[in-house]
Amino acid sequence: MKLAGRVSQVTPSITLAIAAKAKAMKADGIDVCSFSAGEPDFDTPAHIKAAAQTALESGKTKYGPAAGEPKLREAIANKLKTDNGLDYKPENVIVTNGGKHSLFNLMLALIDAGDEVIIPAPYWLSYPEMVTLAGGTSVIVTTNASTGYKITPEMLRKAITPKTKLFVLNSPSNPTGMVYSPEEIKALAEVIVEADIFVVSDEIYEKILYDGAKHLTIGSLGEKIFAKTIISNGFAKAYSMTGWRIGYLAGPAELIKATITIQSHSTSNVCTFAQYGAIAALESSQDCVQEMLQAFTKRRKVMLEALNSIPGLSCSKPDGAFYLFPDISKTGLKSLDFSSALLEEHQVAVIPGVAFGADKNIRLSYATDMETIQKGMERLEKFVKARI
Ligand code: PLP
């Protein structure tokens, strides 16, 4: 069959493929320790589920507006004001089928053939693929542990050309977990304003912060940067709502209107009753977020100590998200060979860093129970020791 040319330009998501393989092995009765999924292991909080159930029972089962339920758009605008200091009206907000879909809508609405999008590596693996699908060109700027896996203002300035349209900022980051400090965000904002490019701030992990780290939304730094900022966020990570598929995009009204038009011809609205769960997530107590964060904090400590006690591995301490990104280069293995052999020989699933543009690393998610973490770290130690 002759498929469209764009198909050959993208690859299937490695993270989803490995997570699926680990799940299939588990279903076959194999004792797998999986650190592959970017998914909190908690159930969605009961009050969120109850709100969706009530909506379902009261007939919120029909098509809704392509832009999202008005009440949810308003709740999101309020959240962006209260949490992030951003002055958006509901018409600046579109509700999407998850953060991934937010970014996809954005790329389709903003990026033309020939436009360049600057993406710091290590990056979340879908960014470059989305740029490609939109016909644009990704300009990857490689960072490493020496700058804490962060792009510096100098690096950003150097990557900008007359074709640059968008810069992708992801803090806290998947896969490294790093968080840009407020000073670093300010310095990047200056470059963005000066170059007159757009920035999309992917803030899906904004609530998952440790050791007093602060999340500063780049668009809150003044009118000029606000006009160039698009926020992408969602409910999956903070509220353990991965399967609900609800995210949002906020930004200049003209751009949001364009994404609504695109969405109206692709997915129509997001599941109507699910959006009522999202309203409850934003408008009810945030204690559930704190409870999950406490569990992540304990697991992060245990996994980080275990990783750094394995001779040959080294891992910096990230301030956010729920991933660790150790350097495996001393084993002499490339990340895909490392991950495949680890899964085959010791039934431990991790994601090869090459998927994120960093072949010297692997990504481990600690959004899993403590017993799995302990068992998995013992297996990993055996695997690495045999190779060092
Ligand atoms: N952005 C980043 C950095 C992510 O890690 C993810 C999910 O893994 C998303 C966006 C999309 O999340 P979702 O589509 O589940 O809301």
The strand pairing partners of 170, in sequence order, are 202
Check residue 345 and give its pLDDT.
94
Check residue 359 and give its pLDDT.
96
**Pocket of ligand 1 contains residue 150 by CB under 6 Å:** no
Nearest alpha-carbon partner for 5 in 108, 103, 132: 132
Check residue 23 and give its pLDDT.
86
Check residue 275 and give its pLDDT.
98
User: How much distance in Å is there from the Cα of 360 to the middle of ligand 1?
Assistant: 23
Check residue 14 and give its pLDDT.
78
User: How much distance in Å is there from the Cα of 38 to the middle of ligand 1?
Assistant: 8
| Pairing mode, strands 351-352 and 362-365 | antiparallel
Q: Say whether the peptide bond before residue 122 is cis (omega within 30 degrees of 0).
A: yes
Check residue 17 and give its pLDDT.
80
Residue to mutate (ligand 1; options 18, 39, 100, 171; most atoms within 8 A of CB): 100
The strand pairing partners of 33, in sequence order, are 348
Check residue 15 and give its pLDDT.
75
**Pocket of ligand 1 contains residue 36 by CB under 6 Å:** no
d(CA 45, CA 239): 7
CATH code reported for the domain at 5-44+287-385? 3.90.1150.10
**Pocket of ligand 1 contains residue 271 by CB under 6 Å:** no
Residue to mutate (ligand 1; options 201, 204, 206; most atoms within 8 A of CB): 204
Q: Which atom of ligand 1 is nearest to the CA of 246?
A: 16
Where are the chain's structural domains? 5-44+287-385, 62-283
**Pocket of ligand 1 contains residue 374 by CB under 6 Å:** no
Residue to mutate (ligand 1; options 170, 173, 200, 237; most atoms within 8 A of CB): 237
Class of domain 62-283: alpha beta
φ, ψ at 179 (rounded to 5°): -130, 125
**Pocket of ligand 1 contains residue 175 by CB under 6 Å:** no
Check residue 22 and give its pLDDT.
86
Nearest alpha-carbon partner for 197 in 231, 232, 233, 161: 161
d(CA 374, CA 357): 28
Check residue 388 and give its pLDDT.
83
φ, ψ at 349 (rounded to 5°): -100, 120
What is the 3-state secondary structure of the chain?
CCCCHHHHCCCCCHHHHHHHHHHHHHHCCCCCEECCCCCCCCCCCHHHHHHHHHHHHCCCCCCCCCCCCHHHHHHHHHHHHHHHCCCCCHHHEEEECCHHHHHHHHHHHHCCCCCEEEEEECCCCHHHHHHHHCCCEEEEEECCHHHCCCCCHHHHHHHCCCCEEEEEEECCCCCCCCCCCHHHHHHHHHHHHHHCCEEEEECCCCCCECCCCCCCCHHHHCHHHHHHEEEEEECCCCCCCHHHCCEEEECCHHHHHHHHHHHHCCCCCCCHHHHHHHHHHHHCCCHHHHHHHHHHHHHHHHHHHHHHCCCCCECCCCCECCEECCECHHHCCCHHHHHHHHHHHHCEECEEHHHHCCCCEEEEECCCCHHHHHHHHHHHHHHHHCCC
d(CA 89, CA 73): 8
Tell how far CA 149 is from the center of its chain.
Answer: 15
- Joined together, the tokens standing for residue 358 give 């960093």
Check residue 12 and give its pLDDT.
77
- Joined together, the tokens standing for residue 141 give 């700027």
d(CA 118, CA 159): 7
Residue stretches of the chain with pLDDT short of 70 = none
- Strand 229-234: give its sheet, edge to edge: 93-96, 247-250, 229-234, 198-202, 164-170, 116-121, 137-142
